[in-house]
Structure 1
Amino acid sequence: MFYIVLLFAAAALLSGGCRSANVNKHMKLLEIDNNIGFNLQSRQASRKFLTLMKKPNPMTVNPTGAPLELTCDAVGAPAPSVHWFKNDAPIYEHDLESNEVIDANPTSLARVTSTLLVPRTEGKVEYSCVVVAGSNTLRASTIVYSTNGSTDFAERSKLTPLAPRILVTYKVFVDSIGNNVVLPCRVKGHPRPKIAWRDNGGRPVGRDPRMKVLRSGELVISSLRWSDMGEFICHATNMFGSQLAKTFVYPARAE
């Protein structure tokens, strides 16, 4: 799939000014820097690429000792996955939702956002996000300094109220018509948040047998159709609050 052609032709393929404007707005989220854009002039390069749009600051000072949020935001083809590390060790003490490990179709393209909730730490700790898209890998690290005592945030969050926090989501997702796709909505909270999705028409997912919500929060869409184009909304709620995330889905015509 020639993604440069796809992205610039998206609006032209649609009828109706409002719908065209909506596509243009969301495709801008797939902004690519000049170097990547230059590399995409070749057909093969357009198939696989990866760039970081946002990464943690190289150094973070946390004098209060309060939990931090670290975020990595990336665009890639195929759709990127994000993995977090603490001092080069994979982070498993937090909920698995903090590590995005969805297998992506090789024809997919997406902008993914992944957030890590960092516990209070003592002294100096390095946190890294590793972003993978096909054979491409990028890494961004930050050193977190804290002057207060440590607290096990993962254990404490199981006992104290925590409003839902959506940790992993796609902002925009592109894939070929006919493919089975998975849209992430990884959530942390206590009590465990309930996750509900609405489709591109604002209807609760469940009426269409092609769509189902997994216990982990992902939305599975079988046999992607042109009519699936639009915003899908993940809504996470518990008794202490709610949060929603939107993913714009663009079904692309196969070559």
Structure 2
Amino acid sequence: MYLVLLFATTALLGGGRSANVNKHMRLLSELDNSIEHNVVPQKQQPGARRFLTITQRPLATYAHNSGEVLELTCDAVGAPAPSVHWFKNDAPVYEYDVESNELIDGNPSSLARVISTLLVTRTRGQDVYTCLVTAGSKTARATTLVYSTDGSTLLSERAKLYPLEPRIVVTYEMYVDTIGNNIVLPCRVKGHPKPHVTWRDNKGVVIRKDSRMKVLRSGELVISSLRWGDMGEFSCQATNVFGSQLAKTFVYPAKAG
């Protein structure tokens, strides 16, 4: 299981968001072969699988015109699956939408690449934003300074409703966990009106009534008792009258080792 995580980590750090299924399938072949050659001593395994790396962070500074949407993105890989929390001037970001923070707890045996985006619509003077990423007991952070370019403290009615088109602000690009575990795949969205979230399984079928899979009101997909047959790309689509956005998560059910 731990070499599975090691190989998956290599792929996560080197892969892009546009990676297709064929690329992941080649990776999975390597993962299966590695299980049979696991030579890591048992006493070293727990430490080998716990890590955290921020692979994409916001720039050091941004100029922001109030009323426009500024996107701050943190992209991280970790085991267990990382959780992302945003802060503005050292205070948790709750003023626009409590779901700005990614609050999903990953299983101890999991590994994932998480992508979290904070949408900033208002800046007064200058603000310091921090992306805090946690994975088990490990933490990493990235800080950026956002300053206003227009000096305005008033928001138009349109600005108060940003974003109009759907935006998926939290998702996993890839998720690895042990067969038999219950897992949660995030698909946190923003938009006005509130976007409708639709999940498709690894066969491209819309998930509606399924004994093992359930889409929560918050947009997360819960998969009970992960199976080998669940391997593949699950897709989340957020839609409202102004458009839609699609995000894909490649799920790899790993054998316990």
Q: TM-score higher than 0.5 here? A: yes
Consecutive unaligned residues in structure 2, runs of 5 or more:
12-19, 30-43
Find the counterpart in structure 2 of residue 2 from structure 1: 2
8 Å CA contact 1:65–1:147 kept in 2: the answer is no
The CA RMSD measured in Å over matched residues stands at: 2.6
8 Å CA contact 1:166–1:187 kept in 2: the answer is yes
> Is 1:141–2:128 an aligned residue pair?
no
Residue correspondence of structure 1 range 156-167 to structure 2 within 5 A:
159=161, 162-167=164-169
8 Å CA contact 2:67–2:155 kept in 1: the answer is no
Match of residue 216, structure 2, among 204, 211, 214: 214
8 Å CA contact 2:121–2:162 kept in 1: the answer is no
1:56 aligned partner, one-letter code: P
Find the counterpart in structure 1 of residue 203 from structure 2: 201
Three-state SS of the structure 2 residue aligned to 1:190 is coil
For residues 184-236 of structure 1, the C-alpha deviation after alignment (integer angstroms, 9 at most, x for no partner) is 00000111111010000000112431000000000000000000000000011
8 Å CA contact 1:121–1:151 kept in 2: the answer is no
Pair 1:7–1:82, CA change in 2 (3 A): same
Three-state SS of the structure 2 residue aligned to 1:45 is helix
Match of residue 101, structure 2, among 94, 99, 102: 99
> Is 1:22–2:24 an aligned residue pair?
yes
Per-residue deviation, 1:98: 1.5
Per-residue deviation, 1:97: 2.4
1:70 aligned partner, one-letter code: L
8 Å CA contact 2:6–2:49 kept in 1: the answer is no
Find the counterpart in structure 1 of residue 173 from structure 2: 171
Three-state SS of the structure 2 residue aligned to 1:107 is coil
Per-residue deviation, 1:60: 1.3
The runs of at least 4 consecutive aligned structure 1 residues that moved more than 2 Å come to: 3-8, 18-27, 42-46, 62-67, 150-153, 155-161
8 Å CA contact 1:77–1:108 kept in 2: the answer is yes
8 Å CA contact 2:5–2:111 kept in 1: the answer is no
Match of residue 150, structure 1, among 147, 150, 153: 153
For residues 86-131 of structure 1, the C-alpha deviation after alignment (integer angstroms, 9 at most, x for no partner) is 0000010122222101011000000000000012212111001000
Three-state SS of the structure 1 residue aligned to 2:165 is strand
Cα distance between partner residues in 1 of 2:28 and 2:192: 32
In the superposition, the TM-score normalised over structure 1's length comes to 0.83
Cα distance between partner residues in 2 of 1:123 and 1:19: 45
1:79 aligned partner, one-letter code: A
Cα distance between partner residues in 2 of 1:248 and 1:52: 19
Identity of aligned residues (%): 62
Find the counterpart in structure 2 of residue 38 from structure 1: none
Per-residue deviation, 1:4: 4.9
